[in-house]
Structure 1
Amino acid sequence: MSSGIADLLRSSASRSPGSPVVTGDGRALTYGELAERSDRVAAALARLAPGSRVGYVDRNATEYFELLFGAAKAGVVLVPLNFRLAPDEMRWILGDADVSLVVAGPDHVEALRGAADVPVIAVGSDYEEWLAGQEPADPKRDATGDALVVLMYSSGTTGRPKGVHVTAAGLASAVELFGACFTLGPDTVSMVPIPYYHIAGAGWALITIAEGGTLVQCREPTPQSMLGQLVDHRVTHTALVPAVIQIMTELPSARDADFSALRQVVYGASPISESLLSRAVALFGAEFFQSYGLTETIGVTTLLGPDQHLPDNPVEGRLRSAGRAVPGMEVAVLDLETGGTAAPGTAGEVIVRGPCVTTGYWRNAAATEAAFLPGGWLRTGDAGSMDSDGYLYLHDRLKDMIVSGGENVYPAEIESVLAGHPAVLEAAVIGVPSEKWGETPLAVVVLRPGAEATEDDMLTWARERLAHYKCPTKTVFSDALPRNPSGKILKRELRRPWWESSERRIG
């Protein structure tokens, strides 16, 4: 295993400097060019103190990798931000991370310059001028061990995002352990439609780079454009969410498309129905893997292999499983009453331990302490059970999180915004089933006595203050919210009518 992330690029670039590392949307780069450009970034960032933070805000672009590897070579921490966040949300993260500078795409520069009191370098002529002024000299000031290389912000249960520690050792372990589960090599052509600020997108890209393969970059992916990329670039591996798989299988242009190069597809964020799986396998002719993971585990937890995706699987219901622990990781189910390991088939909280698990949350000792059990076990906040063969089944969430189209959405953020509306007395947000996104936010709103408001009013209010993917897709008005004797809102009661026909209560 390499000692750090910068070594992944150094190794692949030394073996095959002329081989393509990025193609597809935007600039194409070879390994040698990426090594040289990231050296220039590193030379600039080496002027900062080790451990300083630098931000990145843009859609998928080669500048992300230049900054990631450049920061790693300089011993500086990359903070990738979701480009879909509202300016106020970006401002809070940049302040919390105490970033020294931000590299941003043209679409985000104006908003960032108004939101952050830090230098902003615009991708394009400003960024190229910044690089040109640096010597392409690798400072080799790499972070190692528990030193941070990336700080990934994940929405929080209290309404504020938390910075998840991604250490040098943890990220290198994730690349090694997850990469070993697939047949990757220098001939790999891997399509990465997932945003790089998401651990799934960044991780999938890194395991490809570690093997010297080629990334097919998707800057503004749509099902139709991804279909074209798969065919045009003779893609061998890709990561997709089930919602995209479903749309792609229904596209008329997919019927006669040539997917003969495609070997393996990994999906996550929600289970896949047997009927959709059958259509997808028939269309793509590839092996399918289901992955379950968190930002806190650098995306690596369990994997359901292709042998369990066969339509004639003798184990009934196995397709509803999230798979078994990735070799090198440990997964167990905690009995919430006894505090011990739950018996097979008994529901409890899913806990994870291994070299990929985060060391904690940025400047948030209370959240870090609450997240861990003795022995280094991370509490996922997901309720599940495990069968006697070690397959994990997810049932519900102990923490109020919604996964919509692969994005984590915490109701507390939305509830806090809705509560600020002058007509709202209180609000509760839950996840409800969505054929397109797996699940989607729904708001249950109690209005103040005599006040009036419409569903459109709630959506407009939310969209002015939150990233659009976090906003409720539906609002239901109620006279009161169900509560237990201590006054806590019973969200399971709110969710029940929406999920009662589903075998799994989370998307």
Structure 2
Amino acid sequence: MTGAHTVADLLRTSSQAHSASPAIVGEGRTVTYGELDTRTNQVASGLLAQGLDRGDRVAYLARNGTEFWELFFGTAKSGAAVVPLNFRLSAPEIAWILSDAEPSVLVVEDHLTGLVPADYTGLRVVFSQEGEPTVPDGWVGYEPWLAQQSATDPRQDVTGDELLSLMYSSGTTGTPKGVTTTGDAMLAAVAAFSAQFEVGPDTVSLVPTPYYHIAAGGWSLISLAHGGQIIQFIEVTPQSMIGLLVAHRATHVIMVPTVMAMVIANPQAAAADYSSVQHLVYGGSPISETVMLGTQKIFDAKLSQSYGLTETIGVLTILRPEDHVVGADSKLQSAGRAVPGVELRVVDGEGKDVPAGEVGEIVTRGANVTRSYWRRPDATEASFFDGGWFRTGDAGYLDEDGYLFLKDRLKDMIVTGGENVYPAEVENVLMAHPAVQEVAVIGIPSERWGETPHAVVVTRQGESVTSEEIIAFCRERLAHYKCPTSVEVIEMLPRNPSGKILKRELRAPHWAAAERTIG
């Protein structure tokens, strides 16, 4: 990535040096760097021919596919911004985001076109990962549209503080927030994080998470910026993950501790040939000594844990390979230390530093940190302390050596199977149930998902409701992963003197045996 002045330059540089080398392998359409460069030129030309101006948005609603990277670099080459949408959302949720982002172009996988509201007026482009797509009235096919465009690079790159991407995460008030990422912020993140994972032209990165998550996009981009390969999954299962890892000789792998534990416990999975793996990165929760030792034995690779947010382009801290040891001074339950270029503090409610070992809010500053939420000046202002310190909303403490220990989520966010769920969004839906007087949604431990939403309900006088009814009501209105998997009916929610629900008291019995209550 030497000499890259824009994100588009990352692909140009890799294409010039590795034109015939595969960029994307695995599931979906395989492309070389030369092919990816040419097709992204066509996307960029098509967007400009459509009349898109600088900063206009282009949305992607699909499972992981090579089309995403054609759109990502195509927007970067044309001055537009990409908006990756969560394909697991419901139609009303998709409609809300589209009304907020106002994309001029929408690229959709064929089986998801029904999620697009009828009143969407932009260019509708449809593609299929299983052959020729069915093209509804008012839509155009992706491949025919692409074939009509010039393959000449327009070089209208997103630069500096211009908008590169807009990624939506659920908001604490129940409405999603668009996290803005600029061109320079992404370049800074790629430069800082590439060194942490020792990537290069021989890197083969396993990418088992959806592209609408910053972790998947960032993890892929640091490989693509250096001429490496990414192993793509349209839909991942433990079996397909291990199969493609072995078949493509992955060198760099992302896994969550629950999958690592599954590999260790499954004799067939544990016996696979993992000799290609050099670096295994995990996140979402700390690793136990048992899982760490088992993983080291099976993979014989470096282990790193990462912690970060969409607002920080994925990584704030790294627990490095040399920290993965057992003993009295082990840092294994920490999230590691800040990566170079990232500043980290723990502060009180007024933004003042607290002593080492004392729990407070984690704040951060760096070139990789978002500057704003899309069209949300109030939310933006509330998310920063003076001096440009971004408030993560996570609670933790720093020890004397600068290691960060995570304790809780100030914003009550639940992470279930790698997906972020904000209780307020679920609570707003459940409050519409005619039998519900009050409700609190909390995260409780789940062996399979890390944690899972649990609803605590107070019913209206004279009313009754079953768990099945509450869950079904929620599933009709929200993505299923956001919905509670269990329901508890009680007479009264615990509150403090000012009337705020004490969710910590509701969570405590469920997390009594847990080391920490945040991933």
| TM-score class, shorter | over 0.9
1:319 match: secondary structure: coil
Residue of 278, 281, 286 corresponding to 1:271: 286
Deviation at residue 503 of structure 1 after TM alignment: 2.1
User: Does residue 471 in structure 1 map to residue 483 in structure 2?
Assistant: yes
- Aligned partner (choices 338, 349, 354) of residue 342 of structure 1: 354
Q: Which residue of 1 aligns with 2:380?
A: 368
Contact 1:401 1:409 in 2 (8 A): yes
* Cα-Cα RMSD: 1.2
- Are residues 1:240 and 2:255 paired? yes
Greater mean alpha carbon deviation, residues 495-504 or residues 163-172: 495-504
Moved more, 228-237 or 272-281: 272-281
TM-score when scaled to structure 1? 0.97
Q: Deviations over 1:369-401 (max 9, x none)?
A: 000011110000111000111000001111121
Stretches of structure 1 lacking an aligned partner (at least 5 in a row): none
Distance 2:98 2:219 in 1: 25
Which residue is equivalent to 1:315?
329
Q: Which runs of 5+ in 2 are unaligned?
A: 133-140
Q: Distance in 1 between matches of 2:118 and 2:510?
A: 41
Deviation at residue 428 of structure 1 after TM alignment = 0.5
- Deviation by residue 1:143-171 (Cα, 9 ceiling, x = unmatched): 11111110000110000000001110111
**Residue identity in the other structure for 1:99:** P
Distance 1:502 1:269 in 2: 14
Q: Structure 2 CA distance, aligned partners of 1:5 and 1:413? A: 34
Residue 392 of structure 1: aligned partner: 404
Counterpart selection for 1:42 from 41, 44, 56: 44
Equivalent residues of 2:251, 2:277 under 8 A apart:
yes
One-letter identity of the residue aligned with 2:464: E
Question: Given the alignment, which residue of 127, 132, 137 partners 1:123?
Answer: 127
The partner residue of 1:23 within 14, 25, 40 is: 25
CA distance in 2: counterparts of 1:309 and 1:114, whole angstroms: 52
Provide, for residues 163-205 of structure 1, a one-character-per-residue CA deviation record: whole Å limited to 9, x for no partner. 0011101111111101111121111111100111100000000
Residues 96-116 of structure 1: per-residue CA shift (max 9 Å, x gap): 001112101112012225474
SS of residue matched to 1:11: helix
Contact 2:360–2:396 (CA<8 Å) still a contact in 1? yes
Match of 1:14 among 13, 16, 22: 16
Amino acid across the alignment from 1:44:
G
What amino acid is the match of 1:35? D
Amino acid at match of 1:143: V
Kept in 1: contact 2:263–2:270 (CA 8 A): no
- Cα deviation 1:269-301 (Å, max 9, x = unaligned): 111111111112211111110000000001120
Q: Find 2:419's aligned residue among 407, 410, 425.
A: 407
> What residue in structure 2 maps to residue 158 of structure 1?
173
Residue type at the aligned position of 2:267: P
- Aligned partner of 2:320 in structure 1 is 305
Q: Which residue of 2 aligns with 1:486?
A: 498
Give 1:72-471 correspondences, 5 Å limit.
Answer: 72-114=76-118, 116-124=120-128, 125=132, 126-310=141-325, 312-316=326-330, 318-336=331-349, 339-471=351-483
Give the Cα–Cα distance (whole angstroms) in 2 for the partners of residues 99 and 228 of structure 1: 37
Please state whether the residue corresponding to 2:440 is helix, strand or coil.
strand
Q: Residue 115 and residue 25 in structure 1: after superposition, are their counterparts in 2 closer, same or farther (change >3 A)?
A: farther
User: What secondary structure does 1:163 align onto?
Assistant: strand
Which residue number corresponds to residue 500 of structure 1?
512
Q: Distance in 2 between matches of 1:447 and 1:471?
A: 18
Q: Could you tell me how far 1:16 is from its partner in structure 2?
A: 1.1
Q: How high is the sequence identity, in percent, across the aligned residues?
A: 54
Letter in 2 for 1:387: D
Whole-angstrom CA distance in 2 between matches of 1:48 and 1:496: 51
More off after superposition, 495-504 vs 158-167: 495-504
Amino acid at match of 2:469: D
Change (3 A) 1:373 1:339: closer
Tell me, in whole angstroms, the C-alpha distance in 2 between the residues paired with 1:116 and 1:281.
Answer: 51
Deviates more, 1:160-169 or 1:430-439: 430-439
Runs of 4+ with deviation above 4 angstroms: none
